[in-house]
Amino acid sequence: MSLRKQPLPHSSRPATLAAAVRGALLYLPLASVILSMPATAIAQQTASQEFSIAPGSLDAALSQFSRQAGVSVAFDAKLLAGKSTPGLQGTFASDEALHRLLAGSGLQAERQDRGGYVLVETESAGSISLDAMRVVDNSLGTITEQTKSYTPGTIASATRLVLTPRETPQMVTVVTRQHMDDFNLTNVDKVLEHAPGITVTKQDNLRSFYYARGYQIRNFQYDGIPVISDGVNFMGQTTSDMIQYDRVEVIKGASGLTTGAGGPGATLNLVRKKPTYEFSGHATAEAGRWDNYRTEWDAGGPLNENGSIRGRVAASFQDKQSFQDYAKEQTRALYGILEVDLSPQTMLTLGGNYDKKRPRGTMWGGVPFWDSYNNTIKKSRSFNPSATWSHSDQFSHALFAQLDHEFDNGWTSRVYYTFQRNAQNGEFGGILYAPNADNGSANLQSNVARYKTRSGALEAYARGPFELFGRTHELAVGVSGYHNHLKGSVHRYTVIPIDNFWDWNGHVHKPDWGRVTWSTEDIINQRAYYASARFSLTDDLAVILGSRVTNYRRGGTSHMRETGEVVPFAGITYDLNYSFSVYASYTKIFQPQDARDENYGILQPDEGDSYEGGFKGEWFNGRLNASLAYFEIRQDNRAEYVGYDYDRNYSIYRGVKAKSKGVELEITGELTPGWNIQAGFTHQVIREDRTNEKLSTEQPENMLKLYTNYRLPGALSKFTIGGGANYQGTTWRNGTDYLSNAHQYRQEAFWLLNFMGKYQVTNNISATLNINNLLNKYYYVNYGAANSYMYGEPRNMMLTTRWDF
């Protein structure tokens, strides 16, 4: 965390003559000469005028500013080295224009009595008046909002150390706020559909599953704090509205150092928005295909005169139909956060969020694949096998508090607590099995299911520099505790006869499900201690060493206990030159399992090793980043499905040794001023050691994702055009047909293309059109799971008008 004492924007005042002379004498040998200006030029500094300055180098941007404003800016060239700016579009007075260009640079402009400006470092300027704490980088890295960037400045989710992507010896994908706004990514599903190396599959129109490197993602963090997955993938984490988040970070591979127990594929870290230091916000009105309507309201700023108390409130509401018959849903989200500077070095943060989703026409599995004669069933994309009354109401709310402190020696600390409650109440009805091929009769399976979870997490950590052998290094230490309590109940399954599957329209009476016939309870407690250190052995060589000691206990209907489980981490980075580095890292896998074997015993934890190495590149002061990684994951006890025990009603698994290998390539950021890109290619294969058989084949071996946009230059600068392409390689799933013959469910490779276009109507009002599945491609998001299938969305579009204030 970097907490800098900076003046609030409204507190600046014109520099005194002595300060101006002192600044001019100091920078004259190394700066442009301040020329005498006529009175009309001085007046231009207070008069508003139009500016069009592209994002990029701050040096180049200041040159553009001087030409467009007709005023000179003097500066020491060393002050601008490596600094960038998000650019400037609109009508401003010169003072305000310079203030916006210099935001976050650590510099400010002092206006001279005879005209022109001198740039000085903020803390040396004569206008500093208020000792208020201003968060430039939070404990998890650089806030991406307002940067207009597709890449982060720094991140901390992999090691707890605040590092640039190039300094992090692990691949971390970040979908920034700008990317989400450009492509209207309003929920977690949409964000991960854009994230390189991630696949999103669905059991039906309710349940989503995420995969990375061939493994299901079940590790979630909020502001870097792990919250144990609720085990029910259709409430809580997967239903979050993105109105409340600054970015989503995907930590590829095992992340035992910061997460503890978890899978080896990836960890998702959802980083919340922060209050702003000036009053600002936005409102949207959106409309799209299938009566899809959405609005957002987001506002924040200082709540007292000196800005030591800041708040923010954001809300969204969405009401939409679906491409599937009589399926629809409403979503609501509310988020609030408050920051209070208790002292110049201590900040208290309080906040909370509420998400609710009310879907109707909820499917319970996909469309049956076979009829009773073993013929494949082909229905239109709009066909819905559920009953009209089938639904699942879901909600999630969380409260969080954190206390940050910055010490005089450069160390910072954070204590964080969060409580989250998720719930799902559903009445399900769907045609799950083959209809009669002679007369079309079928059975609709139905039941009532209710789940709720309560999760709590408390973590305290500190981070800072230390000296050793004449060099400065970094250390982070922390302790954590997590608790998750899940309860679930199901009423008896009820079968409702259906006259004709082929004429099905969803209308059928709701049955009496009677009493609860099955219930479950799961209690997980985890305690951990961890430390990580980055040793700067030379200017180019750094080594990161860390370890986490975890105590894991599980109760309820499953019982398990692991004490003193040590998860080590080691990483190394070496700078080859100014732009390129090589890196390597290792960590251990530790994942307790709830899968059961043929004797109804719980499988031992999945343990093993995760290796990664490759190259990283960085250009334009970190505004463009690239990485090429080779990864290898070795599992000792991977749970593989064997069959189903119908007598005891549970799935049977066996533990196998497996090895995953793959390559990932990613490039993210700004290729040229105004041209953003996020692209990635992934190749992955998982094989069982004993048989060399491929595993997890329902996930593609090859994936390519590319999303980009470009703001046109010159007179067309109000227009931004862009789009994206998703390629997914062939996938297959080995199963059986209706007659129990072996059958391979195979989906061939396919492309999906998307489009976006934006027009900046005024400085504060814009209109954006997003078109998904531009070529109206037929594809499946579920093909073969439970002998069913489900189509992906046809071509659809969304028009968003946005007012920024």
pLDDT class of 236 with cuts at 50, 70, 90: low
Q: What pLDDT is attached to residue 131? A: 29
Decide: 266 and 250 in contact? Cβ < 8 Å. yes
Q: What is the mean pLDDT of residues 384-388?
A: 96
Percent of the chain's residues with pLDDT above 90? 63
Q: What is the mean pLDDT of residues 346-371?
A: 94
Select the more confidently predicted residue: 134 or 111: 111
Per this entry, what is the length of the chain?
Answer: 805
pLDDT class of 204 with cuts at 50, 70, 90: confident
pLDDT class of 61 with cuts at 50, 70, 90: confident
Nearest alpha carbon to residue 196 among 172, 180, 219, 220: 172
Q: What pLDDT is attached to residue 415? A: 96
Tens digit of pLDDT for each residue in 188-200? 999 999 999 999 9
pLDDT at position 34 over 50? no
Q: What is the mean pLDDT of residues 32-46?
A: 38
Nearest alpha carbon to residue 608 among 553, 532, 659: 659
Structure tokens at 30: 């190394």
Decide: 136 and 147 in contact? Cβ < 8 Å. no
pLDDT at position 107 over 90? no
pLDDT at position 237 over 80? no
Longest dimension (CA), the chain: 97
Structure tokens at 271: 């980083």
Tens digit of pLDDT for each residue in 688-717? 988 999 999 999 999 999 999 999 998 999
Select the more confidently predicted residue: 306 or 59: 306
Q: What is the mean pLDDT of residues 136-140?
A: 60
Q: CATH topology of 47-121 equal to that of 280-436+456-804?
A: no
Structure tokens at 597: 């074997």
pLDDT class of 63 with cuts at 50, 70, 90: low
Tens digit of pLDDT for each residue in 506-561? 999 999 998 898 888 889 999 999 999 999 999 999 999 999 999 999 887 778 88
Structure-token match 């043929």, residue found: 598
Q: What pLDDT is attached to residue 231? A: 53
* Helix (H), strand (E) at residue 66: helix 58-69
**Sign of the torsion angle spanned by Cα atoms 590, 595, 598, 599:** positive
**Maximum mean pLDDT: which of 134-143, 555-564, 777-786, 791-800:** 791-800
Tens digit of pLDDT for each residue in 402-433? 999 999 888 999 999 999 999 999 999 999 99
CA distance 683 to 64: 44
- Yes or no: is domain 47-121 CATH 3.30.70.260? no
pLDDT at position 134 over 50? no
Tens digit of pLDDT for each residue in 301-331? 999 999 999 999 999 999 999 999 999 999 9
Lowest mean pLDDT, pick from 5-14, 173-182, 464-473, 671-680 = 5-14
Distance between the two ends of the chain, CA-based, in angstroms?
28
b/e 196-215 (16+ beta carbons within 10 angstroms → b): bbbbbbbbbbbbbbbbbbbb
Q: What is the pTM of this model?
A: 0.83
Tens digit of pLDDT for each residue in 618-640? 998 889 999 999 999 999 999 88
Select the more confidently predicted residue: 337 or 740: 337
Using the 8-state DSSP alphabet, how is residue 95 labeled? Answer: H
pLDDT class of 187 with cuts at 50, 70, 90: very high
Q: What is the DSSP code string of 679-747?
A: EEEEEEEEEETTT--EE-TTS-SEEEEEEEEEEPPGGGTTEEEEEEEEEE--EEEEEE-TTS-EEEEEE
CA distance 477 to 473: 14
Decide: 662 and 633 in contact? Cβ < 8 Å. no
pLDDT class of 206 with cuts at 50, 70, 90: confident
Q: What pLDDT is attached to residue 259? A: 84
Q: What pLDDT is attached to residue 45? A: 47
Decide: 169 and 544 in contact? Cβ < 8 Å. yes
pLDDT at position 38 over 70? no
Nearest alpha carbon to residue 275 among 99, 132, 86: 132
Tens digit of pLDDT for each residue in 656-693? 999 999 999 999 999 998 999 999 999 999 999 889 99
pLDDT at position 54 over 80? no
pLDDT class of 48 with cuts at 50, 70, 90: low
Q: What pLDDT is attached to residue 235? A: 62
Q: What pLDDT is attached to residue 130? A: 27
* Helix (H), strand (E) at residue 99: helix 94-101
Nearest alpha carbon to residue 208 among 197, 221, 199, 219: 199
pLDDT class of 30 with cuts at 50, 70, 90: very low
The mean pLDDT of the chain is: 86
Q: What pLDDT is attached to residue 119? A: 82
Domain boundaries, the chain: 47-121, 280-436+456-804
422 Cα distance to chain centroid: 19
Collapsed DSSP state (helix, strand, coil) of residue 289? coil
- Yes or no: is domain 280-436+456-804 CATH 2.130.10.10? no
Is residue 305 exposed (0-12), middle (13-18) or buried (19+ Cβ within 10 Å)? exposed
pLDDT class of 26 with cuts at 50, 70, 90: very low
